[in-house]
Amino acid sequence: MMENWETIITFTYPQDAHIAQGFLESEGVESILKDELTVQVQNFYSNAIGGVKLQVKSEDIENATSILKNGGYTGIESWKPTETVVVLESTNKKQCPFCQSENIGKSKKVDYLTIGVYLVLGAFFPIFRLNYSCFDCGKVWKFK
């Protein structure tokens, strides 16, 4: 049976990812590293491919995230589904559409499908998806 693996944190260098992976495995959480060998062979590609990704099984996300946060790791992605919000004329993009808080942030995620099309066709397309997140209610969304 195929397991679902989710990225919880990324690293620029593989050695840093191995330390975090060892920390998780010492607590009994199974994890894998994605793109580790690519970064080892071509270390200048690390930022281009999004770094070395530490992944855990979908059912272990909350446990692994809390273990790493308690261990002092910052920048851990809390896994939250992205919701799509339809933009109307009256939509204020500087407020959370769910709780109307202005305490929001933008995050850019790499769109791997676009990278594949870019490599095949040699044409330039934007490779990032822009998501917004609210620091008060914790929702993640994008505008349509």
The string of pLDDT tens digits covering residues 60-78 is: 988 998 898 888 887 665 5
The string of pLDDT tens digits covering residues 10-19 is: 888 899 999 9
pLDDT of 101 reads 84
Residue 3 is given by DSSP the state P
In angstroms, the CA 94 to CA 103 distance is 9
Question: What average pLDDT values come out for the chain (144 residues) when binned by 10 residues?
Answer: 79 91 94 92 83 90 89 66 62 80 74 64 61 76 73
Closest among 40, 32, 48, 27 to 115, alpha carbons compared? 48
Q: CB within 8 A of 124, min separation 6: which ones?
A: 118
Ordered by where they begin, the domains of the chain are: 5-70 (3.30.70), 82-143 (no CATH)
Q: What is the pTM of this model?
A: 0.54
31-34: strand order across its sheet: 5-11, 52-57, 31-34
Q: Answer whether 120's CB lies under 8 Å from 62's CB.
A: no
Closest among 2, 107, 108, 110 to 53, alpha carbons compared? 110
In angstroms, the CA 6 to CA 130 distance is 19
